[in-house]
Structure 1
């Protein structure tokens, strides 16, 4: 993978890479090193996971050996991550339960980023996402939540929504899952209000520490 090229005044870094598992690991490391050089107040773990998901999608859906490029750029109060490849095929968020090949990485992208999308380019396409510069390092909790919600929703009624409807569907599933967990705690002699208070305390403590 060639060295990073960037213009400090724009805080923009371009990292060409080859779609291969070994290159994805190097790309993650290079992205983290660049953010460290910039002194970015961004959750490194979160950015590293998103870089890995974006690059891995190229490996899986465009093919190993394909040429691609990662662009890191600071825009206002956000860090923007873009991966460009030469395939014009736009990725689709598909139903859970069919494995990574069906777009699980995009579910993580939607859950972890404040905004994301795809765009057709002259050479192919770009998949991008943005995270706030003051984001907390909660990526693993978000990843577990996505996995739990997809598993829960798939078991209850299957998945059919996409885009904004998909987000609304996951929110509804989150409410139903929390209600089911409260029924579970009550049936075992625990106080549901106490469970909610303890969860809120954990959330607030971690948010303040982030």
Structure 2
């Protein structure tokens, strides 16, 4: 596996809201955008499912309109989701759900999706949490796919002002790498133009190949939006 030279910041965040069915779409949207910004798009569906079921459990067993908080963080290489509410009496219980037993299927889905889950009782609240496994090798690293490793090796070497990583142990932010990546793309476009190729056609073909590799279900996002929504 490669060594991640450019750290991906994944700072813990939380979102207070009222546990109501109409709020769930907005909560899922914030989760999706944060995970995209964190470079974990492959966890979006599982995380949204778990959050939906944990919040629905609050609505069902504590009551609609209950003040609730979603907290998302990294526990080493696991994604941790926590849903807290002020009721310490209605404890989540995993039932052997059947087709006839609609209530109790929620936590069964969480149990089947997450690697582990549990409940923490506090003085004035409880926290129901679950953790999803990732393919990360460190909490601020990236997934070691071949195309990502090739790009990181290129960005490590590439810089108009000299090597981006002068020392083996230096770690730079992903923002620095992003600027270097833009520089690489610009220079490649100059190279294509100098060799009689159409830069726009190359960009279109690259975008098409990128979209195809992501798959038909990929959802675009704009970095930075998630933080604003989480604190609005």
Cross-structure match for 1:21? 21
Relative contact order, higher structure (CA 8 A, sep 6+): 2
Post-superposition CA distance 1:70-109 (Å, at most 9, x none): 00001111000000001112111123235332x2111111
Gaps of 5+ in 2: 1-7, 137-232
Q: 1:105 to 1:118 in 2, by over 3 A?
A: same
Task: Say if 2:162 is the partner of 1:122.
Answer: no
Cα distance in 2 for residues equivalent to 1:63 and 1:27: 18
Larger radius of gyration: 2
Cα distance in 2 for residues equivalent to 1:21 and 1:86: 18
SS of the residue 1:43 aligns to? helix
Retained in 1: the 8 A contact 2:12–2:74? Answer: yes
Cross-structure match for 1:99? 101
SS of the residue 2:91 aligns to? coil
Retained in 2: the 8 A contact 1:43–1:134? Answer: no
Post-superposition CA distance 1:5-49 (Å, at most 9, x none): xxx966201011111111111111111111112223642111111
Cα distance in 2 for residues equivalent to 1:50 and 1:83: 10
RMSD of Structure 2 on Structure 1 (CA): 1.9
Post-superposition CA distance 1:170-203 (Å, at most 9, x none): xxxxxxxxxxxxxxxxxxxxxxxxxxxxxxxxxx
SS of the residue 1:127 aligns to? strand
- How far residue 123 of structure 1 moved from its aligned partner, in angstroms, is 2.0
Cα distance in 1 for residues equivalent to 2:84 and 2:63: 14
TM-score normalized with structure 1 length: 0.56
- Relative to its length, the structure with more helix (as a share) is 1
- How far residue 130 of structure 1 moved from its aligned partner, in angstroms, is 0.3
Cα distance in 2 for residues equivalent to 1:123 and 1:38: 32
Cα distance in 1 for residues equivalent to 2:25 and 2:41: 22
SS of the residue 1:70 aligns to? strand
Q: 1:41 to 1:74 in 2, by over 3 A?
A: farther
Retained in 1: the 8 A contact 2:9–2:38? Answer: no
Cross-structure match for 1:38? 38
Retained in 2: the 8 A contact 1:42–1:134? Answer: no
Q: Which region of structure 1 is more displaced relative to structure 2, 32-41 or 106-115?
A: 32-41
Aligned residues: 127
Cross-structure match for 1:11? 11
Cα distance in 1 for residues equivalent to 2:105 and 2:131: 18
Cross-structure match for 1:59? 59
